[in-house]
Amino acid sequence: MVQYSKKIQAVPEPTIRRMPSYLAFAEGLLRKGQQFVSSTQIANYMNIDPTQVTKDLSYTTIVGKTRVGYEVKAIVDVLSEFLGFSVMDNAFLVGAGSLGSALLHDSGLNHFGLKIEAAFDINPATIGRKINDVEVFHIDQFRDLAQELNVIMGIITVPAENAQTVADLMVAWGIKAIWNFTPARIKVPDDIIVQNTTLYSNLAIIFNKLHQDKREE
């Protein structure tokens, strides 16, 4: 009886995935000056069941008022705090190729609590360059800089076949969480947090639905 992933997770992952959208919606309402919002309104916006919304929000300290709804400002404040968007964490990115430099260009990460302090690569052509104000170093310098800059997250954007090597180095360097953008799955000690994000999975889902439509025609 092997346990493949020890989920001692209070908040379901689908819930956390929906929360940033609740937040975005509430921020919009706040800008428009709306003070309260009901689960029905949020659900209508999200195309989901209203009880799903109340269940999701019940994981936070937000409480609604009968016949009134939730306070918009409370949703904004509590959710950004809850999702960790209001505290800035430092990260290093390894692999300043196409996807890596893509992420470096996205200043949205900054707004959501992630600061990429430096990037690393082995390609002499990119080392020394600055991408969107983030300097690219040789990967050998990771250790020293990680200690210096209090970095807790490593972002992997190298080719899939090198993902494990980079992960091993990150673990050795004392990183706490790894955001893995390659389709490769990495092996790390139990206390290291790994989040796999494969953009191309989303593409696969779209293609699958497109093909399904063709089948139904």
Q: Which of its own copies, DNA, none does 204 bind, CB closer than 5 to 8 A by kind?
A: its own copies
Q: Distances in Å between the alpha carbon of 33 and those of 22, 44, 65, 72?
A: 16, 19, 19, 9
* Near its own copies in 177-196, by CB under 8 A: 177, 179, 182-185, 187, 191, 193, 195-196
**Residue 98 assigned as binding residue:** yes
Q: Which of its own copies, DNA, none does 86 bind, CB closer than 5 to 8 A by kind?
A: none
* Near its own copies in 85-124, by CB under 8 A: 85, 89, 98-99, 101-103, 105-109, 112-114
Distance CA 88, CA 163 (A): 25
Q: Which is nearer to its own copies, 27 or 135 (by Cβ)?
A: 27
Under the binding rule (CB under 7 A), the answer on residue 60 touching DNA is no
What mask, x for binding DNA by CB under 7 A, covers residues 3 to 22? -xx-x----xxxx-------
Q: Which is nearer to DNA, 38 or 162 (by Cβ)?
A: 38
Under the binding rule (CB under 7 A), the answer on residue 97 touching DNA is no
Under the binding rule (CB under 7 A), the answer on residue 148 touching DNA is no
Residue range at the interface with its own copies (CB under 8 A); choices 68-76, 118-126, 153-161, 166-174 = 153-161
Can you say which residues are annotated as belonging to the binding site? 95-100
